């Protein structure tokens, strides 16, 4: 399945970038400007979804799950399956892990950028 940049989500994606959570801001500082050797974009529309961070070179999405995701586990699983079927690799982190163990989260992302078999795991 081909990935589509959904222009209908552009306005909402911009709104999300302007209202980033603390965890998104913390992680963005670590991965922006090709600091990990590849370019990530924030709040990137892909098909009918917006992923927190996306690297097109690796076809890698990074998602940060806050408390609100506790009530959306089934929706997230369906969403992940659709994106995975489209070839997107997904790494999920809990909001609290970004806030309390950022270094470990960044190491996991680096591992995934260098080792494709590490994809699809969460902390």
Average pLDDT score over the chain: 88
Q: pLDDT tier at 121 (50, 70, 90 boundaries)?
A: very low
Is 92:69 a contact under the CB 8 Å cutoff?
no
Strands (E), 35-76: 41-46, 49-55, 60-65
- Its pTM stands at 0.86
- Predicted confidence at residue 122, as pLDDT, reads 46
Taken in order 112, 115, 119, 123, the sign of the CA dihedral is: negative
pLDDT tens profile 69-84: 555 667 888 999 999 9
Which range marks the domain in which residue 50 is found? 7-118
User: Does residue 2 lie within any of the structural domains?
Assistant: no
Q: Using 50, 70 and 90 to split pLDDT, how confident is the model at 114?
A: confident
Residue 1 lies in a domain: no
CATH number, residue 94:
3.40.960.10
Strands 60-65 and 89-94: parallel
Whether 68 has a pLDDT exceeding 70, the answer reads: no
């Amino acid at each position: 399945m081909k990935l589509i940049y959904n222009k209908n989500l552009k306005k909402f994606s911009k709104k999300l970038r302007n209202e980033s959570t603390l965890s998104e801001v913390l992680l963005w500082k670590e991965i922006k400007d090709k600091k990990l050797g590849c370019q990530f974009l924030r709040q990137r529309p892909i098909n009918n979804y917006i992923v927190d961070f996306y690297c097109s070179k690796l076809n890698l999405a990074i998602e940060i799950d806050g408390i609100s995701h506790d009530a959306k586990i089934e929706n997230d699983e369906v969403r992940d399956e659709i994106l995975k079927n489209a070839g997107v690799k997904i790494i999920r982190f809990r909001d609290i892990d970004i806030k309390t163990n950022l270094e470990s989260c960044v190491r996991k992302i680096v591992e995934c950028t260098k080792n494709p078999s590490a994809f699809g795991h969460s902390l």
